[in-house]
């Protein structure tokens, strides 16, 4: 195997349970949600139309849960060095991310290695995502396969 193939991909031997991944803050504003709505084809108006969101009983526009899920996993893919190494990823949506017009919202994402299987190369990372001090994702686990 040439070095090129694995260049930049984290080595299994360098990973230990308890390792912390570099955290990241994801800033979300309305423009970001419109961009995600177009990219994902999820055009539900609760994610960009404040008047509509309030009419259906929400405090304001809320972010797509799938936007939060998709942006949170970049903490894992950047750390691994290859987005194609993520073989499993699951979350619970525990709280909506409310996105006010003026300030937007900040989601703080961090991750820690929970398990390393040296036989299969599977590394399990637990992600924590909070907004205004509250967890917005629960049981957020990503499994990457490393060599």
Partner 1 sequence: MPVNADFQGRVYPPTETYRVSAAKIREFAEAVGSADPVHVDADVARSRGYADVIAPPTFAVLIAQQCDAQLIRDPEAGIDFSRVVHGEQRFTHHRPLTAGDAVVGTLHVDTVREAGGHAMVTTRTELATEGGEAVCTATSTIVIRGAE
Sites of contact with partner 1 (CB under 8 A): 4-5, 7, 9, 26, 32, 35-36, 38-42, 56, 65-67, 69-71, 73-74, 77-78, 82-84, 86-93, 142
Minimum CB distance to partner 1 smaller for 16 or for 22: 22
| Whether 11 contacts 146, CB under 8 Å | yes
Residues 6+ apart with CB under 8 A from 53: 45, 46, 47, 60, 61, 62
Minimum CB distance to partner 1 smaller for 86 or for 112: 86
Minimum CB distance to partner 1 smaller for 48 or for 89: 89
Q: Locate 143 and state its tokens.
A: 């499994």
Task: Supply the minimum distance, in Å, between the C-beta of residue 142 and partner 1.
Answer: 7
Minimum CB distance to partner 1 smaller for 1 or for 18: 1
Distance (Å, rounded) from C-alpha 97 to C-alpha 93? 10
∠ CA 40-51-44, rounded to 5°: 20
Task: Supply the minimum distance, in Å, between the C-beta of residue 9 and partner 1.
Answer: 8
Task: Supply the minimum distance, in Å, between the C-beta of residue 143 and partner 1.
Answer: 9
- H or E stretch at 37: helix 30-40
């Amino acid at each position: 195997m040439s070095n090129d193939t694995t260049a930049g991909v984290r080595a299994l031997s360098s990973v230990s349970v308890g390792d912390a991944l570099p955290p990241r803050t994801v800033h979300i504003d309305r423009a970001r949600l419109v961009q995600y709505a177009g990219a994902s084809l999820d055009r539900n108006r609760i994610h960009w139309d404040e008047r509509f969101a309030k009419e259906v009983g929400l405090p304001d526009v809320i972010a797509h849960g799938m936007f939060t899920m998709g942006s949170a996993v970049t903490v894992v893919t950047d750390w691994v060095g290859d987005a194609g190494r993520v073989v499993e990823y699951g979350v619970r949506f525990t709280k909506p991310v409310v996105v006010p017009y003026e300030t937007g919202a900040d989601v703080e994402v961090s991750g820690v290695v929970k398990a390393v299987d040296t036989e299969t190369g599977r590394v399990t990372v637990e992600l924590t995502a909070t907004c205004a001090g509250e967890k917005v994702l629960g049981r957020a686990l990503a499994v990457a396969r490393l060599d």
